Chain A
Amino acid sequence: MDWNVLWDGLPDHTLDGLTRGAIYALVALGYTLVYGVMRLINFAHSEVFMVGTFAVLGVYAALGATVGMGWPAVVGITLVALAAAVAASASTALAVERIAYRPLRRKNAPPLIFLITAIGCSLTLLEIFGFVLYEFFGSPFGRGVVSIDPIFPSRNLVETDLINITNVELLVMVSALVMMVGLDWFVNRSRIGRGIRAVAQSPDNAALMGINQERVIMLVFVVGGAMAGVAALLWTIRYDVTKFDVGFIIGIKAFTAAVLGGIGNLRGALLGGLLLGVIEVYFSVLVDSSWVDVTAFVVLVLVLMFRPTGLLGESLGKARA
């Protein structure tokens, strides 16, 4: 435990933690939305994120992105990558819903079975990217770490003794915040959002009021998937790597973030994500980075022991103030 190292770099570590946490928060939204509406942990959501990172990779390769392009090209390619990642992640999430969850809902199966099919989906997607596609196309698929060209040049915007802020960190945080605020508005203020909240509160009554429950569920998966897609793009910009099982640890952490803030609560996901990111960075500075993945679990257990509803409480239905 070397507290001095932490104190000396506190602003930098905090910033690092917040950028990390912003990505966790975006992924956490997917868990929270689905949980709020269906009372179900979508185990395959981590792979939804992973598919997004590979979509970014695909766009970069297809458009011939290289390091050191001019700004217009960078912005253009990034926007295309964003669209591709969102589309890929959202359609993966939707496919999981169609294949693994809908038939079980029809059969009124108990929750345990949903979890098992979700694990099955998760494994299938992992293997598709880690092995099956590798058999047909070779790398970048396969079990190794794939590095992604950092086409987005990192520059210091603010450079003082106290803190360095790079444009990448700023981009990650601002876009995460914008997505969050947008989603919050969508769920709490729009007509469709009212439908989502109604189903979350009481599926039967919502159905009586003329809300198509199946459509709301589909929508929730698509929106959650899209958020994971945005997170995937931000992740590739910030960390420049992906891997077939990149989603696993991020998924766990995002889920922890969702529980920490109160699962089913959109603002809770943001709070939980940022908090977890910061805790994690502090912890890895203080102790040792090889233990960092344990932090999330320990935080999760502590939260569940002392405040199982999370920091902000856990209802999507009552999310509106």
Chain B
Amino acid sequence: MNQIAAMTDKLRNRFADAPPWVRWIGVAAVLGFAVYLPLLDIPGLNVIRTDYGGSGSDWPSVLFLVLIYMIVAVGLNIVVGLAGLLDLGYVGFYALGAYSVALFGSPASPVTVWIAEKFGLETGWAVPFALCIPIAIMLTIVSGVILGAPTLRLRGDYLAIVTMGFGEIIRITARNAESVTGGAAGVINVPKPPGPEIDGRDFFNTVDAERWYWLVLAVLLLAIVVARRLEHSRVGRAWMAIREDEEAAVIMGVAAFKFKIWAFAMGAALGGVAGLLYASKYTFVTPQTFVLNLSFLFVAMVVIGGAGNIWGALLGAFLITYLPERFRAFEDWRPFAFGVALVVIMVLRPQGLLPSRKKALEYKARQIEAEGIKA
């Protein structure tokens, strides 16, 4: 494992030292490959397709899910990786995003029916998809602030439990408040983004998953750019200062509470967008989709990949989503393998598979310190 780590380190150093045009070509090549990926048909490379050999899950759909979880990982990386706040209820924001597009955008949802009745609109009225996006973002940000305001003053481990409670409350509410959310049956007819008709089908439909993949790829790129800019801004430095030592940061004049709320809100918004896209592709939402285990999965993506490093989070999201789909034959064993892997990876490599440089150094220092105490 350490040899692999040394190799990736070397690769990263060479990439960082290369002239800008080489780096741009590298980025363009990776992007080009990412765009081509759902159509992948190169002999030899075909093996990575999840439907290799004719059976298995639909490859573009798997890629779509990978990207959705990558958006989630980018968002959660802001909260867990940068600001150092352990959020175990992230699925709550994901669910909120999904439910807001479903409740406002679907003509079949109790909310739109109620609004239509109230204001005398024609039956079948619903909020257009484009308007659902700001609604979803607003709702998740507001809920992030509402959740964060009382809890972010707490110590880290309390925060973990309270956020976990938040995730569960969202799910239980979605299940029980039947007159608003449709209860256990959920909401159907979630709207899709508009687009020209091709071959007699809508541009975004339930069959051609690669179009959804490209859409989400664009959103993911946007999310990465936003997250990167945030990370290297004043806000990002404040987050990292809080993560490293909150008291010291406060003494230096960082308004810790404000920035923590910010981190929560930004993370929540990205989680909401991911949930929105997910619900839109699958055209229905039910409370069963948003179980607590999903929250653990999200945190695991960020931490296994290497908390604080956006590329690590992406790697984690990829591994955790792709590997189980590729090895569907062992489907029932997956949660078990996942639990064992979580323990083994974290015990052997607590800094994650692909940590940020700063983190890697920090862990080395911590280990030396620990050995020093023993000696």
Contacts and interface: CB of A to CB of B under 8 A. Distances in A.
Interface in B252-298: 293, 296
B303 to A, nearest CB: 5
Nearest to B175: A290
Contacts of A128: 336
A123 interface: yes
A301 B152 CA distance: 11
A275 to B, nearest CB: 17
A124 B343 contact: yes
A107 interface: yes
A321 B333 CA distance: 51
B157 A123 contact: no
Interface stretch (A68-76, A113-121, A184-192, A233-241): A113-121
A5 interface: no
B307 A112 contact: yes
A255 B333 CA distance: 29
Contacts of B51: none
B161 interface: yes
Interface string A119-138: 11111111110011001000
B84 A301 contact: no
Given A294-B169, A304-B150, A115 B157 contact: yes
Contacts, number: 131
A107 B370 contact: yes
A152 to B, nearest CB: 32
Contact of A109 (B165, B173, B338, B366): B366
A175 B335 CA distance: 37
Interface stretch (A15-23, A79-87, A97-105, A222-230): A97-105
Contacts of A125: 339
A308 B303 contact: no
Contacts of B150: 301, 304-305
A47 B165 CA distance: 18
Contacts of B157: 39-41, 111, 115
Contact of A41 (B160, B175, B299): B160
Interface string A271-304: 0000000000000000010110110111011001
B170 to A, nearest CB: 10
Given A108-B369, A291-B172, A293-B172, A127 B339 contact: yes
Contacts of A126: 335, 339
A109 B350 contact: yes
Choose among B80, B169, B175, B342 the residue with the greatest number of A CB atoms under 10 Å from its CB. Answer: B342
Contacts of A124: 336, 339-340, 343
Given A108-B369, A109-B366, A132-B336, A117 B158 contact: no
B227 interface: no
A116 to B, nearest CB: 5
B122 interface: no
A108 B160 contact: no
Contacts of B350: 104, 107, 109-110, 113
B339 A120 contact: yes
A100 B161 contact: no
A106 B370 contact: yes
A259 B338 contact: no
A112 B156 contact: yes
A123 B370 CA distance: 29
A309 to B, nearest CB: 11
Given A132-B336, A301-B151, A305-B150, A293 B160 contact: no
A252 interface: yes
A308 B159 CA distance: 11
B347 A104 contact: yes
B232 to A, nearest CB: 23
Interface residues on B, range: 35 or more
B51 to A, nearest CB: 26
B162 A121 contact: no
Given A124-B336, A127-B339, A304-B154, A116 B299 contact: yes
B202 interface: no
A39 to B, nearest CB: 8
A107 B175 CA distance: 43
A318 to B, nearest CB: 18
A300 B343 contact: no
B154 A131 contact: no
Choose among A103, A294, A301 the residue with the greatest number of B CB atoms under 10 Å from its CB. Answer: A301
Contact of B343 (A120, A291, A293, A308): A120
A123 B307 contact: no
A303 B150 CA distance: 11
Choose among B162, B166, B369, B374 the residue with the greatest number of A CB atoms under 10 Å from its CB. Answer: B162
Contacts of A290: 172, 175-176
Contacts of A110: 350, 366
Contacts of A116: 299-300, 303, 342, 346
A297 B165 contact: yes
Interface in B213-252: none
A117 B347 contact: yes
Interface in B335-363: 335-336, 338-343, 346-347, 350, 363
B168 interface: yes
Given A104-B350, A107-B370, A108-B366, A308 B154 contact: yes
B169 A115 contact: no
A106 B350 CA distance: 12
* 8 cross-chain pairs, A with B, having the tightest CB-CB distances, nearest first: A120-B342, A123-B339, A297-B165, A124-B339, A108-B370, A127-B336, A120-B343, A109-B350
Given A108-B366, A111-B157, A120-B300, 11 more contacts: A39-B157, A107-B370, A108-B367, A113-B346, A115-B157, A116-B299, A123-B336, A123-B338, A123-B342, A126-B339, A301-B151
Interface of B: 80, 84, 86, 150-151, 154, 156-158, 160-162, 164-166, 168-169, 172-173, 175-176, 293, 296, 299-300, 303, 307, 332-333, 335-336, 338-343, 346-347, 350, 363, 366-367, 369-370, 374
Interface of A: 39-41, 99-100, 103-104, 106-113, 115-117, 119-128, 131-132, 135, 252, 255, 259, 288, 290-291, 293-294, 296-298, 300-301, 304-305, 308
8 contacts: A119-B299, A119-B300, A120-B339, A121-B339, A123-B335, A131-B335, A294-B172, A308-B154
